[in-house]
Amino acid sequence: MRIQRDLAIGLTVAATFIASTMVAYAQTPTASPNWQFGLAAQIFGGVAVAIVIAAIVILFLTSSTPGESFIYRMRPTFFFWLGITYTLLLLLGAIVYNISYTGTQPYLIGGVMPVAVPWFGALGAVTISLEGVFTWSESRWNPDYNYWHCGRPVFGAVLGAVSFYLFVLIVMTAGTTPSFLGPVGTGQPLSPATPSKDFIVYYVVAFLVGYREETFRELIRRVTDLILKPGTQAATSAQITFKEGDDVKSEIKFADTAANAQAKVTIEILNSGGASLSNPVVTVKELDAASKDVFKITKNDATGRSDLKSNESSTVEITFTPTKAGKYSAVLSVAGANLAMPATITIAGSATG
């Protein structure tokens, strides 16, 4: 038992050494000016530390008494310090990433998922684990959940990553493509001007899924309905399609317009579902401060109606009035009393000097 304890202490020191070495090397100017190198170094160091920690766990497991594992015998105090350790490691990883990263936008894993998504999933999982420790006293502690507490950050990261793709799929079926999804394989956002706030909702979703597993099950249910039951959904619910003339639109794009001039488009809002849309409301909201009051709805035949029946449409007129040269963006949103999520479509316009 003493030999195993000494080995565990030695491995812990080794893990600390590996982590500090990789962080220091990632910050060395001669190593590489490229921020991807710093990230790779951190990932390598993290994997190395994870392997060492796994070895420590195995050493503890080999010291268990016959018929009862070490993990099963642990009490709330152990899991409190385990949760605190998980939290400190996650915060350390965030600090290292922010110090080493010099870009303006998050790195996208596979060109799609922000690297912070699984991090927030793991953080949410550790948070609910600590809450369980605080809530259940020693006398009411159920050791059947001990393995659940040990594996929380790993499963939280996995659930957060999967929920990101599920949420993006739901958003895209509503007619909006996230602005950071650039050309396949580039690993870069569609536009360098993509505001950082565009990623916040995905971080929140990952945290909530890690914190509350029922949220993940709800996302699974919704995506299953979208993919496997498209006919049933269309027959029993309202569904919004945006059209300009005879063309179905996935984006409303104004032609280049001179500063202080005005352009306008008329968009047809069609209820292509099998049920009426109750109390429709159409709004436009800018995506950044520069686009404030640039896009306006000057004619709105949808808002104020009691309903928009199946296969019925109404129109909205949108004006684009830029005050100076640049690129502007907004979102046109259609909400309804019986619409689970507002249907949205992006609006884009460029102004010339």
Please report the domains of the chain, with CATH numbers, ordered by start residue: 64-227 (no CATH), 240-352 (2.60.40.10)
Q: How confident is the model at residue 295 (pLDDT cuts 50, 70, 90)?
A: very high
The SS3 call for residue 352 is strand
Residue 141 tokens read as 């502690």
Least confident of 44-48, 131-135, 174-178, 319-323: 44-48
Q: How far is CA 24 from CA 27, 99, 265, in A?
A: 5, 11, 55
Listed residue (54, 59, 84) closest to 8, CA to CA: 59
Range name among 70-79, 98-107, 214-223, 300-309 with the lowest pLDDT average: 98-107
Residue 182 reports pLDDT greater than 60: no
Mean local confidence (pLDDT), 238-255: 88
In the predicted model, what is the mean pLDDT of residues 33-47? 52
Q: What whole-number percentage of the chain has pLDDT above 70?
A: 68
pTM over 0.75: no
pLDDT of residue 66: 46
pLDDT band with cut points at 50, 70 and 90 for residue 220: confident
Angle between helices 35-62 and 76-100 (to 10 degrees): 160
Lowest mean pLDDT among 41-55, 102-116, 190-204: 41-55
What confidence score (pLDDT) does residue 197 get? 72
Please say if the pLDDT value at position 104 is more than 80: no
Q: Which of 17-26, 27-36, 96-105, 151-160 has the highest mean pLDDT?
A: 151-160
Helices first, then strands: H and E counts in the chain: 8, 14
What confidence tier does 102 reach under pLDDT thresholds 50, 70, 90? low
Q: What digits encode the pLDDT tens for the residues 334-350?
A: 998 888 788 899 999 99
* pLDDT given for residue 272 in this prediction: 86
Residue 267: what pLDDT? Answer: 93
Residues 164 and 91 sit within 8 Å (Cβ to Cβ)? no
- For residue 321, give the nearest of 269, 276, 274, 254 by alpha carbon: 254
* pLDDT tens by residue, 236-246: 678 899 998 88
Residues 263, 146: Cα–Cα separation, whole Å: 63
Question: Between the CA of residue 85 and those of 92, 153, 220, 350, what are the distances in Å?
Answer: 10, 11, 31, 50
Q: Provide the pLDDT for residue 236.
A: 63
Confidence of residue 30 (pLDDT cuts 50, 70, 90): very low
Q: Which of 332, 333, 349, 331 shows the shortest CA–CA distance to 341?
A: 333
Q: 314-317, long-range: CB within 8 Å, 24+ apart, which pairs?
A: 314/268, 314/269, 314/280, 315/266, 315/267, 315/268, 315/269, 316/266, 316/267, 316/269, 316/282, 317/264, 317/265, 317/266, 317/267
C-alpha span between 42 and 133 (Å, rounded):
30
Contacts 24+ apart (CB under 8 A), 91-98: 92/19, 93/42, 93/46, 93/119, 94/119, 96/23, 96/26, 96/42, 97/39, 97/42
Contacts of 292-296 with C-beta under 8 Å, sequence gap 24+, read 293/321, 294/320, 294/321, 294/322, 294/323, 294/328, 294/330, 294/349, 295/319, 295/320, 295/328, 295/330, 295/347, 295/349, 296/321
**Chain segment 137-166, per-residue pLDDT in tens:** 667 777 877 888 888 888 888 888 888 888
Mean pLDDT value across the chain? 75
Q: At what angle do helices 76-100 and 116-135 cross, to 10 degrees?
A: 160
| Residue 190 pLDDT grade (very low, low, confident, very high; cuts 50, 70, 90) | very low
